[in-house]
Amino acid sequence: MRLKEKIALITGGANGIGLATAERFAREGAKIILWDVSDQGNDVVNRLIKEGHEAIFKKISVTNMEEVEKAVAEAREHFGRIDILINNAGITRDRTLLKMSKQEWDDVIAVNLTGVFNCTQAVAPIMKAQNYGRIVSASSNVAIRGNYGQTNYVATKSAIIGMTKVWAMELGRFGITANCIAPGFIQTAMTAAMPEEVRNQSIPQIPLGKWGVPDDIANGYLYLASDEASFVSGICLTIDGGAAR
């Protein structure tokens, strides 16, 4: 087992990529701390426990630093440590620049960027004290190539790459690695809401000729969270079928 006895905190873990990651990490021996704004997280954790894994769920918004700090303290009290942080929670509020409202901008910044900052700042002191930690955050391949109608989303995902490089520099001396993953088109509920025309038009842009599935990203999270990647820090791993350019 590649994560045996490791304690992994996964945000946005109730569905999609986060769910696939929680299930994969549990199979690899990790004990799971699942956070999400959806009550579906309870079902996920109950299923993991029924399958013989150890897991806890907390309904929480990563945008609220007070909630985050309290939930981190509770998780540490329960498990004694936190080895892995997967900053996976994210939202979209797509609109072109000239039509985007301030609220749509603020909502995406709050979850996708400030939420990642909040969780990492709250967990990093625990990892520092342990002299061990793995921080992996969700960027996107649109951070590299841009995307029509996603000023807010692209801004956050580009910032994730920059923050990751800074954290690798600042935290490396404490035995902590910081990396991110840039997924391309992945079959999730979020992308299912995209217009069919847009989804069909995306296929020719992908050299492998298909969309990915959540397990493709979970596999990337697993590698960067494992000791196999102990000398990997400050990178953005693109998983998009070759589409980034």
Active-site annotation, residues: 153
What is the DSSP secondary-structure string of 143-187? Answer: HHH--TTBHHHHHHHHHHHHHHHHHHHHHGGGTEEEEEEEE-SB-
Distances, alpha carbon 87 to alpha carbons 98, 111, 204, 221, in Å? 30, 10, 30, 10
**If you search the block for the tokens 């696939």, which residue do you land on?**
20
Pull the structure tokens for residue 74: 């509770």
Torsion of CA 8, 24, 62, 70, to 10 degrees: -30
